[in-house]
Amino acid sequence: MKKIIIILTVIILKPICIFSSENVTANDAFETLKQSNFEKAIVQFSHLINNFDNSANFYYGRGMSFYYLDNFSKAEADFRKAIQIDENYFDAYLGLAFVLIARGENNNSLQILDKAIKINPNSSNAFYSRGLINYVERNFKNAISDFTVALQLDSENINALYGRAIAFYQLRDFENAKIDFENYLSKENRNQNLANESRRLLTVIKR
């Protein structure tokens, strides 16, 4: 039996710099991160951390850079430092959750995402991420609930649409799974691998 494909999307969120004296250098660092030059971004964020008052933004940016280099221990340390500076730093909670997901620490990640959602209950990405963990833990009903909220918050969150489809499939709710798979396939920005998997599972449903 083939393994059903799931996907986790990490979004780089560029925080707004607080101090005007930081703007140019901080913007450069986040632009470097956006361009996937992670080693250079680490150097730039480290410079900002060492030369300016503690800013959660800089630790978050460096944490994302470490994350993309699979240096999860340093990424975790930076995300936790950002949260220590600003306990309501939503993006840092998401970053920390992604690190824990990558390590397979799903229960800890769920706790972090619960905190993130309390801070920002309007984040489609946070509900999608929690839905993904619930899916991996085979809590399919909870996964469907989270994916549904993610879609209510952002109807274009097609990863949540696909996630809900496979959760319905696992619960053998083939009618709703079929609706979501077909809806996913109608999206122009769909992932080709997930589209192929959707077609395969639709074929299974129709047998």
14: left (phi over 0), alpha (psi -120 to 50) or beta: beta
**pLDDT, mean of residues 122-138:** 95
At 176, the pLDDT band (50, 70, 90 cuts) reads very high
* CATH homologous superfamily of 19-121: Tetratricopeptide repeat domain (1.25.40.10)
Residue 104, phi then psi, degrees to nearest 5: 80, 15
11: left (phi over 0), alpha (psi -120 to 50) or beta: beta
Distance between first and last Cα of the chain: 15
- pLDDT score, position 189: 83
Mean of the per-residue pLDDT values of the chain: 89
Q: Which of 42-51, 151-160, 175-184 has the lowest mean pLDDT?
A: 42-51
**For residue 4, pLDDT beyond 60:** no
Q: Which residue has the higher pLDDT, 166 or 18?
A: 166
Give per-residue pLDDT as tens, 58-117. 999 999 999 999 999 999 999 999 999 999 999 999 999 999 999 999 999 999 999 999
| Residue 107 tokens, joined | 């229960």
Number of H helices, E strands in the chain: 11, 0
DSSP assignment of 7-30 equals --------PPPS-GGGHHHHHHHH
Q: Which residue has the higher pLDDT, 138 or 6?
A: 138
State the residue for tokens 């703007």: 23
At 26, the pLDDT band (50, 70, 90 cuts) reads confident
**For residue 203, pLDDT beyond 60:** yes
H or E segment at 43? helix 38-51
The answer to whether the Cα torsion of 171, 11, 78, 18 is positive or negative is negative
Give the rounded percent of residues in the chain with a pLDDT score beyond 90.
Answer: 80
- pLDDT score, position 207: 78
What radius of gyration do the chain's Cα atoms show?
Answer: 19
**For residue 157, pLDDT beyond 50:** yes
CA distances from 49 to 43, 53, 77, 94, 195 (A): 10, 7, 14, 21, 43
At 8, the pLDDT band (50, 70, 90 cuts) reads low
| Residue 5 tokens, joined | 């494909």
Longest dimension (CA), the chain: 64
